[in-house]
Amino acid sequence: MKFAVIVFPGSNCDDDMFYAVKEGLNVEVEKVWYSEESVADFDAILLPGGFSYGDYLRTGAIARFAPVMASVMEEAKKGKPVLGVCNGFQILLEAGLLPGAMQRNKNLKFICRPAELIVENNETGFTDKYEKGECISVPIAHGEGSYFCDEKTLSQLQANNQIVFTYRDNVNGSVADIAGITNKEGNVLGMMPHPERAAADVLGSADGLKLFQSILNHWRESNVLTS
């Protein structure tokens, strides 16, 4: 299995993401520069955190039109796993791969600390190594992480089990405590907390590692079935 970590001008969690996969899973992983035309050769695509294009205009608004994104969107539509963390989540929202939008934190502060998350849905290709209802510790680091969507979208998210992670203590004002959601098909996950910063005990928590293991596991299972 081969992972891609997309690097935009201003990404700053690309190394963390790279090493979470390389050291945590021991599989192939490559960084892909934003000006590349294709990510078709990869089996999973990771959009890391950071401040792509300096967060100008809106978070993720300009990165969403970076050359590589057309191919990311195409592969997402084919069903490949796409994970966006923090700024990566914001880019997925701007790209329309996930519903809703991101706003400034309710308290207008940049919040950087460990957060307790509840695994609301463990029947996705990103979370099947977790227990349903499990409480995990994963760091957050964002100024614009208050998830917003209208009531109609929220009821669709709930009806389709698209809410994957919620905050135990809603620190940023997100609608329905939302920390992470998938698309309807379940192959695109966006989350504000950083699982790649919680991928080994030495980092203070290894709770994020199971997310990457779930992606790998899911890929292995579906490739055994098809070959």
Partner 1 sequence: MVKVQVYVTLKEGVLDPQGSAVKNALHTMDYHEVKSVQTGKFIELEMEQTDNLDARIKEMCEKLLSNPVIEDYTYTIGEVVSK
Chain residues that interact with partner 1, rule: CB under 8 A: 57-58, 61-62, 65, 93-94, 99-101, 103-108, 148-150, 173
Provide the minimum distance between the beta carbon of 34 and partner 1 in the complex, in angstroms, as a whole number: 16
Structure tokens at 108: 């207008």
* Residue 146, helix vs strand vs coil: strand
Residue type present at position 1: M
Tell me whether residue 94 or residue 120 sits nearer to partner 1 (CB atom). Answer: 94
CA distance 156 to 2: 32
Residue type present at position 206: A
Tell me whether residue 2 or residue 109 sits nearer to partner 1 (CB atom). Answer: 109
Provide the minimum distance between the beta carbon of 58 and partner 1 in the complex, in angstroms, as a whole number: 6
CA distance 165 to 97: 18
Provide the minimum distance between the beta carbon of 116 and partner 1 in the complex, in angstroms, as a whole number: 23
Residues 6 or more apart whose Cβ sits within 8 Å of residue 93 = 60, 99, 100, 101, 102, 190
| Catalytic (active-site) positions | 86, 194, 196
